[in-house]
Amino acid sequence: MTSPQGGREKVVSKLTAALRQDLKIRTAQLGIDIQDAVAEGLASWRALGANPPTVGTSGAESFSTWLPEGQWDQFRADAKDRGVSIIQGLAQAVRLWLDTNPSPTIARPAVVQRKIICNQKGGVGKTAIAAGVGEAFAEDSNQLCPVRIARQMTDTGVDAELEDLTGMGLRVLLVDFDPQGHLTKQLGHAPLPIDGDSLANHMAGEAKGDLSELIVSVDDDRFGGRLQLLPACADAFLLDVRLSRVRMREAALERALEPVEGNYDVVIVDCPPSLGMSMDAAVYYGRRREDETVGKSGVCIVVQAEDSSADAYDLLVTQIEDLRADMKLELDYLGIIVNLYDGRRGYIATSSLEQWKAIKDPRVVGVIPDRREQREAVRMKQPLLSYSPTSEQAANMRALAREIA
C-alpha cells in the first residue's frame, strides 16, 4: 500500500486475467473508472449477510488500483473474520459488481441511418472508407478495440494516441452500388451473375425475387453476423438508362432497399464514380427523414489531398445542391474525408489538406493516412478490421465511424 493521493490509496493484490478483462470491458461500456467499480464492489461485498459462491482464482496475477482511504484495511479485516482469503474476497467483490452492473443494451437508432459514401472521381478510396466504417459500426460490443483520438486523425509523423473502447455492435448493411464491384471483391465475395437478380433489377422495377435473397454475410467473430453485404452486379453499368424509364427515379434506390432496411441499424452505400441518375438516387436515399435527428444520415464525400479531387468535389456538390433545391430535400453533409494522405509528398499534399480544412461547411471529419495494412487487406480479400485489428489504420476507421455516427 502506498501513500494516499487525493483521498485514495494504492492497493496491490491479485486477480485472474479473465476477471481483469471483464472488468476493463464493462467499465468501458458503462463509462466509469475501474477504481470506482472495484470500490463499489468491495462495499457491496462487505454489506452481504453471507459469503457469495467461490470464484475461481487459479492463475491470478498482480492487480493494483486506487481505493478510498481505509476501505482496503476494512475489507481485509472482514475477509479474515469470514475466513476468506484476500484474493478470493477481491474476486468475489469484482464478480458481484459485474453481476449487478450488466452490459448495457445497444441503443438502436429509431430510424435506420443511411451513410452515402461518394465522389464522382475514381481512385480516392471510397470503397476502403465504406468498408472500414461499416466494419467499425459492426464490431462486437463485448470486446475492446483501439480507437484513434479523432483530433489526431492526421499524418503528423507522431505516434497516434489511442483509447480502448468497446465495439459499437450495430447491424450493418454494406451496399455495393458500383458495377465494378470493388467492395464485393475486397470482402471476399463474388459479384452477382449478370443473368440473375440484382439491385439494379429491383430499382428498375424488374425484380426476379426478394432482395433479401441476394444479401450475404461478412463472416468473422468480430462482427458476429452483424455485418452483411449486398453484392454488386455488372448490370449496374446500364442503370442510368434503365432508370430513365422509371417513375420518380430518384426514389428508386429507396424503394428497392425498403423491404430489407428494417433489419439494420446502418446502411452504407458505396457509390460509383458517377454524376448520373444513380447518384441522384443515392443522394435522395440519404436525405433526412421525418423525425430523424440531424446529422445521422447523409452524404460523406471522400477526397484526396490533390487538385483533381477539388475539381470533382465542386461538380459533386453542385449536383447535390441542385437536387436538394429542386426536390426541397432535407439533406445533411456528414463531412469530408481526406483519404490516402501522405505528408511526405510535399507542398501539394500539405497545402491541399489545409484547403480542405478551410472548408467549414461541410467540415473535414477525418484525415486517413495511406498505410500498407489497408492494401494488404484488399489483396487478402479480408476486412481490414479482421486482417489487422490493432493497426493504426483500423484505429482510424473506428474513430471515423464514431465521427459520423
pLDDT tens digits, one per residue of 389-398: 999 999 999 9
- Would you say residue 1 has pLDDT above 90? no
Query: Given pLDDT bands bounded at 50, 70 and 90, which one contains residue 161?
Result: confident
Residue type, 171: R
Q: Mean pLDDT, to the nearest integer, of 99-113?
A: 93
DSSP letter string over 23-76? HHHHHHHHT--HHHHHHHHHHHHHH-SS-------TT-EEEEEEEETTHHHHHH
CATH of 113-404 among 3.40.50.9100, 1.10.390.10, 3.40.50.2000, 3.40.50.300: 3.40.50.300
pLDDT level of residue 306 (50, 70, 90 thresholds):
confident
Domain boundaries, the chain: 8-100, 113-404
Predicted local distance difference test score (pLDDT) of residue 261: 97
- Which ranges in 177-219 belong to alpha helices (H)? 182-186, 199-203
Q: Please tell me the distance from the alpha carbon of residue 275 to that of residue 279, in angstroms, as a whole number.
A: 6
Average pLDDT over residues 170-181: 96
Q: What is the pLDDT of residue 206?
A: 95
**In the prediction, which pLDDT does 155 show?**
54
Q: Alpha carbon 221 to chain centroid distance?
A: 15
pLDDT, mean over the chain: 93
Summarize the confidence of residues 172-193 as an average pLDDT. 96
- The pLDDT of residue 279 is 93
pLDDT of 173 above 90? yes
In this structure, of 45-49, 166-170, 272-276, the range with the lowest mean pLDDT score is 272-276
pLDDT at 344 over 90: no
Say what angle helices 71-82 and 86-100 make with each other, to 10 degrees. Answer: 110
The percent of residues in the chain predicted with pLDDT above 70, rounded, is 96
Which whole number is the average pLDDT over 115-136?
94
When pLDDT is averaged across residues 281-296 and rounded to a whole number, the result is: 96
Find the angle CA(346)-CA(301)-CA(350) to the nearest 5 degrees.
Answer: 10
The 10s digit of each residue's pLDDT in 219-264 is 999 999 999 999 999 999 999 899 999 999 999 999 999 999 999 9
Residue type, 371: R
pLDDT given at position 153:
62
Instruction: Give me the percent of the chain exceeding a pLDDT of 90.
Output: 83
Question: Which residues, listed in sequence order, are joined to residue 267 by a DSSP beta bridge?
Answer: 114, 173
Helices (H) and strands (E) in the chain, counts: 15, 12
Q: Is the pLDDT of residue 114 over 90?
A: yes
Q: List, for residues 35-60, the tens digit of each pLDDT value.
A: 999 999 999 999 999 999 999 999 99
